Structure 1
Amino acid sequence: MAETLPSAIEQELLGIKHLLWGSEIKTEIFKRWSQEYKDLSFREKVTLEIQNHSLINALSEILGQCATQKYYIVYLDSEFSDPVSAAELNGDKSDNSALGPHRNLCSSLVVDPLRFHEDLKVHCFHRLDDVNKYYYENIEKLKAQYGVLLFLYSVIASKGLEQVKSESDTQDSLIDETYGYGSQSLINLMITGRATTYVWDHDQDVGGLKLRGIEKQSQIGFITIMEYHRFCTVGSFYKNPIHPVWVLASDTHLTVLFSDERKLVSPETKSEQARRVFKSFDPDGNNFISSDKLQNVLRALDLVSELEYVNIMKKKLDSENLGIILLNAFMDEFFPKEESSTPDMFTLIHYNGLAQSNVSGYVQYHIGAAILLESDLKSVCESNPMLTVLQTKWPNIEVNWCNNVMPSLN
């Protein structure tokens, strides 16, 4: 049951406002974030009941991994949160219910950041079951104007403003003040429940600074074109999530990739672990490491790593004394019978929610038949950003998309 909140919680909303938007909210950026959760009306086999159930379960799961003791649900208890049609704005109050579930999609919404923040209210719940009940009873609030923003405020309020600030460890706003995109801290918060800044596994010490990454294997994954450009290193926790679902990041936009092949997220084999660890000491992707890193690789794999043994192996693996050890030579020596948990062929499905990024401006799923080639060499094609970002996860992947239509990352 919802309880009356102390004024301190209401005041915290002001801090959340500043954390998200910075010192000034640009109306155009605020308008882009003022979205509703839409019905997937283009999927005829998915009933509205199933859609609502899936949406509420997903939102509750996000809140559950963020909240510590209480769940704060931010809402607008006014008609301000309802969609307003263009006809109504022009003074025509006639019934437009014929639009049915598409009414929200066809509405021209009045966007007012000042009034939005003045009208915010908060419910407090102690149990996630009560949160679910509230959302089921108020599902239309999620599908009305500001549904996405209200949930975002609920996540930060439930996590705690100071905790989010501490984890993100930055003075920058979570929504870029110039371009309006969500920061990596915001993405990490929504996926993992922690607003860390980096996407590598665990924390890393860089020049005496402790830089926080991903704490554990996430429910869904994340891969990004920025790794190809070497702006970041995505760790195994994000690349190998619990479920075969990945958020894909381009330079400008987030989309979703998923598969019905559960083996894509099977536990690593010993040889797969060895390749991953070896490559973690090869950040440039050259498929070799300097010989002086061999001991670290062996130690990370719980193999014999005494100095005398390491020196013997250095001479064997680097017989020409070049100062490097090739990946293939390392694998042939320590893991000659390589096993793979990933099938050679599988189906991938991509979803981009922007109508203008889809064929004929119609939002739809794109299905592709993926195959993992035997060669370690990958084809670099910068004109194909979809393949480029997939290769950060599967270096030797090729995908044939249905109807030869390449889905857009942007």
Structure 2
Amino acid sequence: MLNGSNASHTSNSLRAVNKDNMSAGSVTLDQELASTRRLLWGDQVKDDVFRRWAQGFQFSPDEPSALIQLEGGPCAAIAPVQGFLLKILLSETPGHNFHDLTSEKCNSLLVRAVCTILSQCLAPKYNVAVYRKNETDAETSGGNNVEGHSNTVYDTIEQFHRRIEVHPFQTLSEVEAFYTRNIRILKDKYGVLLLLYSVILSKGVSIVEAELAELSDPLIHSTYGYGSQGLINLMLTGRAVAHVWDHEQVVGGLRLRGIERQNDIGFLTIMEHMQYCTVGSFYKNPKHPVWVLASDTHLTVLFSLERRLAAPETAGESAERIFRSFDPEGNNFIPSAALQDVLCAADLVSEPEYVELMRRKLDSENLGIILLSAFMDEFFPGCERGAPDTFTIHHYNGLIRSNPGTRVMYRTGRAALLECPMRAASTDAMLTCLQTKWPSIDVVWDDGQSPSLN
């Protein structure tokens, strides 16, 4: 994978890291790798689960900037990389003619997307995992493209771990230059896994474990091989929290952490429609019109060229989010005593006399609570939504078998926000998922068929 000089440099860097980390009671790199393995896989790793994750980042021959997923499982890494790649592409490509992209441009987008994910870890240094190949591995150096995948020879996870080397960098620009020189690190058969290890080793295993806090299950399900919500959040936000609501919520007396700030790209899930979770405003309203979509088993990506879908929060949307932050159990009301804090946080008038006047008005029956609806009607009547009434959306599903004709390509639809919320047909999982953000949305897809979320 690496040329001779770079391989030597990496090996030397690995030994230096081990030497440095053995001082002052620090853990060694071998211990960090062992901890990373347990964090990702748990104590037992099924061979078929490991091998489903053993693939590189490969682009579709039918859609130059779309990544291919060969087997079920690694979408928890591939979909976030695809999302950040599209965010960069939408920001920079004149006319957005995706089909004219060269392989060099797409490789550059891949490297930059990976570096964006690493940058969110806020690491003091970046530890890039690479795979040291044996001479007998030469026949698999082309990665695992669609045609050659069945002939790829895999290590066991023990062999894979023995061959991991780590190259430390002080700056992100150094990481980008290294990946650019050695693009095969990402594109060969362990590219996806090497990124996961790089993210965790850069952020620090102990920090990831602290963010997961209340959970003990591995980040990759030991039986089914799918990534946990903590892993998805780590890839999307740089924090391995287990929940998707804004800030913290108190559940059963436990204070559970969610998403702390507006993210570059968003996240929507059909599980919210099923009332298994609540996706907060930070994920539903990202900085760019790109959302990772979750079914119960798979991750795909929705995106649009319509920038107004990612417009900054309106004053009313901001105030509603702040109100909900004082309602951690999601009851749609706050204690009357919290009104002054809410008004102050929302940058509204908060002098004691005015607050008392509003408290008596909004809690006229002296029940000790203030409803969200009453608060919004008083301070933001007729709050307008920022999205346009009609817009074009595109959908990506990297899993080869889930695409018509097994051709991984972006699917295009024409969306409209209707006057009243509508109920999706139970068979249309895509529409059901989108309605968790846009309750009145309807979509007509160009090929007449709704794309698969699975």
Bucket of the pairwise TM-score, normalised by the shorter protein: 0.7 to 0.9
Is the counterpart of residue 270 in structure 1 residue 315 in structure 2? yes
Partners of 1:35 and 1:185 in 2: CA distance: 21
Partners of 1:162 and 1:195 in 2: CA distance: 11
Name the stretch that deviates more: 335-344 or 114-123: 335-344
Give the TM-score normalised by structure 1.
Answer: 0.85
Shift of 1:226: 1.1
Q: How many residues align?
A: 388
| Residue type at the aligned position of 1:119 | R
Partners of 2:177 and 2:297 in 1: CA distance: 36
Pair 1:79–1:346, CA change in 2 (3 A): farther
| Residue type at the aligned position of 2:121 | C
Match of 2:48 in 1: 28
Match of 2:3 in 1: none
Match of 1:233 in 2: 278
| Residue type at the aligned position of 2:119 | G
Partners of 1:263 and 1:196 in 2: CA distance: 29
Residues 176-220 of structure 1 show CA distances to partners (whole Å, capped at 9, x for unaligned) of: 112111011111111111111111111233344331111211111
Partners of 1:385 and 1:391 in 2: CA distance: 10
Partners of 1:81 and 1:46 in 2: CA distance: 34
Shift of 1:5: 1.9
Is the counterpart of residue 204 in structure 1 residue 249 in structure 2? yes
Residues 4-47 of structure 1 show CA distances to partners (whole Å, capped at 9, x for unaligned) of: 32161133111111111111110111111111101232134221
On the 8 A contact 2:249/2:328 being kept in 1, the answer is no
Give the TM-score normalised by structure 2.
Answer: 0.77
Shift of 1:303: 6.0
Q: 1:185 aligns with which of 230, 234, 240?
A: 230
Is the counterpart of residue 342 in structure 1 residue 342 in structure 2? no
What secondary structure sits across from 2:447 in the alignment?
A: helix
Partners of 1:342 and 1:357 in 2: CA distance: 30
Name the stretch that deviates more: 66-75 or 47-56: 66-75
| Residue type at the aligned position of 1:106 | G
Match of 1:160 in 2: 204
Is the counterpart of residue 311 in structure 1 residue 365 in structure 2? no
Partners of 2:278 and 2:242 in 1: CA distance: 12
Is the counterpart of residue 258 in structure 1 residue 303 in structure 2? yes
Match of 1:106 in 2: 148
Shift of 1:276: 5.4
Partners of 2:317 and 2:194 in 1: CA distance: 42
Residues 47-91 of structure 1 show CA distances to partners (whole Å, capped at 9, x for unaligned) of: 101101100001111111114211111111114895857xxxxxx
Pair 1:334–1:71, CA change in 2 (3 A): closer
Shift of 1:291: 9.5
On the 8 A contact 1:272/1:339 being kept in 2, the answer is no
Partners of 1:27 and 1:360 in 2: CA distance: 29
Partners of 2:336 and 2:443 in 1: CA distance: 35
More relative contact order in 1 or in 2 (CA 8 Å, sep 6+)? 2
On the 8 A contact 2:60/2:408 being kept in 1, the answer is no
On the 8 A contact 1:67/1:159 being kept in 2, the answer is yes
Q: 2:124 aligns with which of 69, 73, 78?
A: 69
Residues 327-351 of structure 1 show CA distances to partners (whole Å, capped at 9, x for unaligned) of: 4x76555434433321111111100
Q: In structure 1, list runs of 5 or more residues that go unmatched.
A: 86-96
Match of 1:10 in 2: 30
Match of 1:243 in 2: 288
